[in-house]
Amino acid sequence: MKKKVIIIGSGIAGLALSVRLKSKGYDVEVFEKNKNVGGKLSDFYLNNFRHDFGPKLFTMPNLIEDIFEDARVDIKKYFKYDKLDIACKYFWDDGHIFNGYSDSQKFINEVHKKFDKEGNKVEEYIFNSKKKFNLVKKIFLEKSLHKISTYLSFDALKGILNFLQLNIFISLNSLNKRYFKDDKLIQLFNRFATYNGSSPYLTSGIMSIIQHLEHDLGVFMPKKGISDISHSLYNLATDLGVKFHFNSEIDKILIKHKSAVGVSINKINYKADIIVSNMDINLTYDRLLKGYKKPFFIKNYQPSSSAVVFYWNMNKSFSNISVHNIIFSRDQMKEFDYIFNRNSIYDDPTVYICSTSKIVKEDAPSGCENWFILINSPFDSGQNWKKIKKNLRNNIIKKINSTLKVDIESNIIGEKILTPVDIENETLSKFGSLYGSSSNSLQSAFIRHPNFSKNINNLYFCGGSVHPGGGIPLCLNSAKIVSDLIN
């Protein structure tokens, strides 16, 4: 008889796991509190403009391909994507512009052109980042750190022998200053700390591996937009026979004799052999495991940063921006000080702009663009977000106008704004944290909650709030880790 698995939540990790377990022969059901799948990787329409709700950067498409291969299904029937030539376009308010190419050699050539005498250092930096990535991926990214078997392997021995090369004991900013003299280049490489919601002045230098994904392995865009990752996995899952329950918010996980045996919704019990939570780990304990002691991994939980997001319908096309764009703050140190020490947002923040309609023409009417503006912010701790977002809107419009030499306010014909409070309400991410626990410590990789419960049998966890962390690639890896753990 097939073992039954219930997955709580249909974020990207929950969807990927549902396919993996169904492909292994399990009977899988997914319960989702919203009316659609995807979590942060969902989409919506603002009038006749399509917007992806959350993350826009798509790297390591091989992780998606692996899921379809395990299911023995041709991915091209469900999902297609293209590689972007420019991973991100960078702007400074003094007029300096840099094209961050997806191809590492083109990226290095651009550094030679725009940052005199720094090209050779960037080449060395990229080479070492790739080396670090290859040293840690089998241990930190693809395996559970909380199983002895992870450390009894050739990959673990190789990582241990090269431990000092990982730059774990210095900050990312300190590492970048070792390599580069140009403040703009340091600022460019520092920004990769925000990919896991941390500060470059606090997070470990090992985080330099993140840029390897973007400027060495490359950045991609699905043919139908980022949320098509979720839609494609959902379509594959349903075709394989996974059963989905929408508008179905779980009340609690049922425990019997120290084993997870099912879930309860409105006093109706659904039994299963295995339970997996794709819900924020803190809220899983707060709401679904009431009375159960939180493990030390989250007792002293420090949330990652959050964001204030502006979705704009623009009645004009802008030729001077790419798909992904960064307009840098004049004072990066002060910007991160505001986020992580003052719990506020600096008046001159770094502005991220994404327009998927540059590639996915159906995302906006002809001659128009869909803009996603993200400003890194502290997590919610009771700030006056109404006042913050009003001031922030004025500040970023001035900054965009000044840097890009435009006057955009008259071009905004539709708008939606999310604060950390809204992000928590819509995605059940505690305090609006985008990446679960903070990575602003040298031990952050080891203090993330494991992908299984040490006290409750048959209970597992996947998604951005547990090991190995947030972001599309790491969430997909968490699904793979849980699939491997479940026998």
- What single-letter DSSP state applies at residue 455? S
Task: Quote the tokens at residue 245.
Answer: 């329950």
**Residue 390, in any domain of the structure:** no
**Residue 367, in any domain of the structure:** no
Expressed as residue numbers, the domain containing 290 is 4-41+59-71+224-301+446-485
Which among 198, 216, 234 is the end of a domain?
A: 216
Task: Quote the tokens at residue 272.
Answer: 């299963």
**Residue 246, in any domain of the structure:** yes
What is the structure's pLDDT at 70?
94
pTM score of the predicted model: 0.92
Task: Please give the backbone phi and psi of residue 445, each rounded to the nearest 5 degrees, phi first.
Answer: -65, -30
What is the structure's pLDDT at 171?
92
- Cα(61)–Cα(160) distance, rounded to whole angstroms? 28
Same domain, 129 and 188: yes
Q: Are 214 and 126 in contact (CB under 8 A)?
A: no
Same domain, 14 and 115: no
Per-residue pLDDT of the chain (487 residues; tens, 9 = 90+): 689 999 999 999 999 999 999 999 999 999 999 999 999 999 999 999 999 998 888 999 999 999 999 999 999 999 999 999 999 999 999 999 999 999 989 999 999 999 977 778 999 999 989 888 887 776 666 566 555 555 445 554 555 555 556 778 899 999 999 999 999 999 999 999 998 889 999 998 888 888 888 888 899 999 999 999 999 999 999 999 999 999 999 999 999 999 999 999 999 999 999 999 999 998 999 999 998 888 776 766 678 899 999 999 999 999 999 999 999 999 999 999 999 999 999 999 999 999 999 999 999 999 999 999 999 999 999 999 999 999 999 999 999 999 999 999 999 999 999 999 999 998 888 898 988 777 776 555 556 788 999 899 999 999 988 988 888 999 999 999 999 999 7
**Residue 46, in any domain of the structure:** no
Q: CATH number for the domain including 183?
A: 1.10.405
Which among 197, 216, 235 is the end of a domain?
A: 216
What is the structure's pLDDT at 242?
98
Same domain, 144 and 204: yes
Q: 348: closest CA among 375, 385, 310, 387? A: 375
User: What DSSP line would sit under 309-323, residue for residue?
Assistant: EEEEEESS--TT--S
**Residue 50, in any domain of the structure:** no
- Cα(28)–Cα(478) distance, rounded to whole angstroms? 17
Same domain, 64 and 162: no
Same domain, 262 and 167: no
Q: What are the tens digits of pLDDT across the range 29-78? A: 999 999 999 999 999 999 999 999 988 889 999 999 999 999 999 999 99
Strand, coil or helix: 376: strand
**Residue 473, in any domain of the structure:** yes
Q: Are 145 and 467 in contact (CB under 8 A)?
A: yes
- Cα(331)–Cα(2) distance, rounded to whole angstroms? 58
The domain tally of the chain equals: 2
**Residue 327, in any domain of the structure:** no
**Residue 395, in any domain of the structure:** no
Q: 200: closest CA among 452, 73, 30, 376? A: 376
What is the structure's pLDDT at 151?
45
Task: Quote the tokens at residue 219.
Answer: 């950045």
Which among 192, 216, 240 is the end of a domain?
A: 216
